[in-house]
A and B are shown apart, each in its own frame.
Chain A
């Protein structure tokens, strides 16, 4: 590694700043960094200010927070389950959230929650599914070993996805809306999403940082964790529950956007080292910035059409992942 650790953080900061400036600046009306900063400071033309503060910035903020949340959730899941292929979506967060949202769309209920109903249903569906997967995994394996949890999550995910597809097929008038929600988007307007997701992310991030050492140790598996003084059973349950809350909140506002939760943690570890004290916050910034760029691509590549951001994350993420992960290996 030619670049010193301090330099890497500076580069990460520049990357984040650039992606946010690009995310806010590029679109049907292009804005220069100077215009953006003036608008943020409360100056400049009214129309520019409104574009930045009411449309572009909240969208970028939601994308950044979602990317960060998914990255952090993925990182914790992989470490807690001692499995580099584990991810919150693999454990049923996405399938459960999708089922919850589908139920709301099809039933047509609108309640006291109003605009929050769909996100709330998605969140509840995601959380309940993970808890169900955990409870089921405990029946088979009280020690909650990584493989059992991953397999149980996978089976429940597939099962719930099938129910969702079935519901969608039987209600063709909602199929398109369900399909779009499943593919994820940051087009929800306003500050509602960031205002909820921001604080949730901060609290969860604090929770995981307090357990960074335990997470390091858990990557060696349950047996070695116990030998090093960490009771894997107790801590895993709380870690997975908090991951479900975090990623469920992210999915609630933007739908299901795959790949970041699996890939961003690996890239962060590769660049900043495996230690969670560094790889969790660095992964959050990396995942957030990457998501902003993916969202930018999703709304500009085929403009004025928007392509689903989930497709972009996979299209850009897969080659990038292969490059970072396998660089310097094999021949």
Chain B
């Protein structure tokens, strides 16, 4: 579905990502792991065409280098980390912007029935229907995050790229979002690539892992095959030890509560 070969890119003269290759099959969910500054977000930006890169990217066998932003937007969508919002669009207007790549170009471009339907479906699916006429500047961080996800889904790409989509979300919405992503990806002709900071959520989301260190790929393969020693080395800490300590804390809490 998504195939990349020897992607390198950076800012100015400085290379941030070097020779990264990976592929995600139809229905696949890849998580990119690595410490801060290892090039995860930069790699996503390159895939989306925001940053120029060397190496090749293709979706469904179609190379993306020569595509216009619009054509690329029909193949791929990126849900970016949330920035500052200063313009007061309503939730519905914002989700409808995801339909831009499918719209006819004409004066007073209006949305087709299909556009409205696609946006409304996503509003329902993400529990935003009652908020549809609210300005996005008045939403909580979690609501806004779901609006951006609804917009990304409404774009109906083949591959979805997610940059820390669970930021700003509370525990319930984090797990619900991961469920939504799994549901979305399970439909034919789709795949997802995500950057997650929370290793637990990352493994709940992904079937495949790309581990990055200093801009290079140090592991690419099934999540089950991830070498925990390597993971610990890359993150510069004892990851399994951290997970054990976390588990023990929860077990103590459970015991204190009569196993709930």
Interface residues of A (CB under 8 A from B): 79, 82-84, 206, 209-210, 212-214, 216-217, 219-224, 226-231, 269-270, 273-275, 277
Contact = CB atoms under 8 A, between A and B. Distances in A.
Contact of B93 (A221, A226, A227, A274): A274
A222 B155 contact: no
Interface stretch (B68-76, B199-207, B217-225): B68-76
Given A213-B100, A216-B93, A274 B78 contact: no
B45 A223 contact: yes
Contacts of A219: 86-87, 89
Residue from A82, A209, A216 whose CB has the most chain B CB atoms within 10 Å? A216
Contacts of B165: none
B108 A277 contact: yes
A277 B161 CA distance: 29
A227 B78 contact: yes
Nearest to B79: A227
B48 A84 contact: no
A84 B86 CA distance: 7
A231 B89 contact: no
Contacts of B79: 227
B77 interface: yes
Contacts of B260: none
B87 A269 contact: yes
Contacts of B100: 213-214, 217, 228-230
Contacts of B78: 223-224, 226-227
Nearest to A222: B50
B70 A274 contact: no
B103 A209 contact: no
A226 B70 contact: no
B101 interface: yes
Contact of B98 (A228, A269, A270): A228
A274 B77 contact: no
A227 B87 contact: no
Contacts of A274: 87-89, 93
